[in-house]
Structure 1
């Protein structure tokens, strides 16, 4: 059991180092040598877990769809909001998550690896379908189409914010929800939704408290 735990920790250490390098350098410029240096592991340890740079990048993308901090809510539309707000809180703090967007937005890497976006679209679409079943969405709203459009909008806001302003991603994503929600939510639900800038931070702290942790953790 101790050996298995060490192997899991080593794999995660390698992925975190790879996330930092892919996020900073992009896929093509990233090297195994730099990832090894950041991770502080041997080449043998890295190749025990990953067969190539491409395999390592796939491992990073595999960590992208994480819903830690998205706590169950009676309102599935609030849960949908929380998914985007928690991610906006975590992303600037977790290179492994940021790297998934870097890789997904990189045309060459995308051709080799695919992206994390389909998983997010399916997850958010499922939440919106449940919200519609509960009468929270306007009748004409297509949950899957809305999820796909929102993932595109969320990603675009993050990319532009990172490239141009570097300001609060949480504030930008809160504003995105405030623009989108009146077009999808029934009026009686709209007024009860919490889209405050600190919503993601509050949900993440509640998640951390429930798991006995005081500091943010990386995605699992």
Structure 2
């Protein structure tokens, strides 16, 4: 059991170190030597968990799916809003998630898996919007697939701009403004005043 725990810690240490290197340098410029230097582990330990740099990147991409943890709200539109806000907050704090996003956005030699992070996000949001539509939370005639693509595309652009200008410090505010403008064209009139565009204090 103790050996199993050490193995989990070593694996997490490699992922966190790789995340920092990928986040700082990008995939192509990153090296396993630099990743190893930040972990203090042996090369044998690294290859025990990950046979290649690509294998590490694939494990980091999985962190994106793990971050799509849907907040449980009675109003499904609020769940969509909170999902985007919480994802933004995690991007500010979680180097592993930031590396996952960078690996997806950048054009590198890393071949992102077929089920890309964009598709993961769109599947999750589309499911919530379809539920919201059934509950009549959404205006009649709205195409939820179009809205899903708009939300994912807009979030991607917002987080890139936020990273460029403030290192993502202003990302929650950018997401909040996006929802303030989108909600009137999406939500049923009686619901608009009940929707919150910021996260509650922690």
Report the TM-score, using the length of structure 1 for normalisation: 0.84
Residue aligned with 1:137, SS: coil
Counterpart in the other structure of 1:113: 112
Q: How does 1:164-203 map to 2 (within 5 A)?
A: 164-166=165-167, 167-196=169-198, 199=199, 202=201
The 2-side partners of 1:48 and 1:131 are apart by 45
Q: How does 1:128-207 map to 2 (within 5 A)?
A: 128-166=129-167, 167-196=169-198, 199=199, 202=201, 205=202
Q: Is the CA contact (8 Å cut-off) linking 2:85 and 2:175 kept in structure 1?
A: yes
Q: How does 1:29-178 map to 2 (within 5 A)?
A: 29-67=29-67, 70-109=70-109, 112-114=111-113, 115-166=116-167, 167-178=169-180
User: Aligned-pair distance for 1:71?
Assistant: 3.0
The 2-side partners of 1:134 and 1:67 are apart by 26
User: Aligned-pair distance for 1:109?
Assistant: 4.5
Report the TM-score, using the length of structure 2 for normalisation: 0.91
The 1-side partners of 2:189 and 2:109 are apart by 42
User: Aligned-pair distance for 1:121?
Assistant: 0.8
For residues 26-51 of structure 1, give each alpha carbon's deviation from its aligned partner in whole angstroms, at most 9, with x where no partner exists: 01000101111112221111111111
How many residues were matched structurally? 199
- The gaps in structure 1 that reach 5 residues or longer are 206-220
